[in-house]
Amino acid sequence: MIMKTWLRFALAVWFVTCGSMQCSEPQGSWTPLFNGKDLTGWDTYLGAANRSDPTYGLNRDPDKVFTVQQVDGGPVIRISGQYFGGIITQREFANYHLRLQFKWGQKRWPPREHDVRDSGLCYHCVGPYPNAAKYPWPRSFEFNISEHDTGEFWSIDGTAADAEVKPIGNSPTEEAAFKGWCERNGETGPRVQFVKAGQKQTFRDGGFMPGGDYEKPVGEWNSLDLYAVGDRAVHVVNGKVALILTSLRQVVDGKEIPLVKGKIELQTESAEVFYRNIEIRPLKEVPAELLK
């Protein structure tokens, strides 16, 4: 009788702590989002140059942009980069720690065959594909994955967030970093980057640079961690905090409301990239050491 009572209590606690992710394992345990065999649990989307072309779109990938391969002795998701689009989870997630590894391939495609390599991790994705004529990606927040700027923030289709930033100076290093950022994004952009205890600013339909270049050389594996709890998110690159976002929100019917859950997407954006060890676990709060 005592054992049955304890079991009922344990199950009740499990349902409370795991409810935000509808997880099937104890609080804090890791769940793989990539099974190492195929793209089960993911949808694909490709935005063709001619958007009325029925060859491309949702779960239509005739050119094998998204494949599962063996690289460096283990399974990976290979994204060729040939078209703009992405693979997106079929489930929504809230209050979690997501981690994965990525490395760049060699192939690059028009219109960015001569630009820095670019991809991205979009989170809290909501709404249907395509969300707007400008993007083949849904409304979301982007943990940008790009040469020398991995970890930067970018808002997509009406999302907004606050962050502490500082102006970018005129030193050769800062100017070079800013020049690359502008070239990739095709605009001048705000001359700011993340710094703890900097000036608080709001960013809408735009972005800003991470606190530093924490990426490894092309061809080496990088580790990314995304902490998304409530209306706060932290981007971590190879163990370094790239930036912290607060007050995650979106505009709906002219009003700003919190955006704290959604699907997760990995972009294809003109550069070959490999992903592996994609895992997620429920999280009650962002670790305090990351917020220092």
State both tokens at 102. Answer: 């990525």
How much is the pLDDT for 17? Answer: 39
In a domain, 180, yes or no: no
SS3 state of residue 82: coil
How much is the pLDDT for 53? Answer: 73
Range of the domain at 232: 18-159+203-291
In a domain, 123, yes or no: yes
Domains identified in the chain, total number:
1
In a domain, 49, yes or no: yes
In a domain, 171, yes or no: no
How much is the pLDDT for 177? Answer: 65
Contacts with 15 (C-beta within 8 Å, 6 or more apart), sequence order: none
Q: pLDDT tens digits, residue range 55-78?
A: 888 899 999 999 999 999 999 999
In a domain, 104, yes or no: yes
62 preceded by a cis bond (ω within 30 of 0): no
Q: Is the pLDDT of residue 216 over 90?
A: yes
Matching residue, tokens 């489930």: 91
Query: Residue 200's beta-bridge partner residues?
Result: 164
SS3 state of residue 243: strand
How much is the pLDDT for 206? Answer: 84
What does pLDDT average to over the chain? 86
In a domain, 167, yes or no: no
Biggest CA–CA distance in the chain, Å, is 72
Q: Is the pLDDT of residue 82 over 60?
A: yes
How much is the pLDDT for 169? Answer: 72
Q: pLDDT tens digits, residue range 220-242?
A: 999 999 999 999 999 999 999 99
Q: pLDDT tens digits, residue range 155-201?
A: 998 899 999 999 887 777 766 666 666 555 555 566 889 999 999 99
Domain containing residue 22: CATH number: 2.60.120.560
Least trusted range by pLDDT, from 21-35, 123-137, 156-170, 201-215 = 21-35
Strands 207-208 and 222-229: unpaired
pTM of the complete model beyond 0.85: yes
| Ramachandran category for residue 131: left, alpha or beta (phi over 0 → left; psi -120 to 50 → alpha) | alpha
In a domain, 196, yes or no: no
In a domain, 66, yes or no: yes
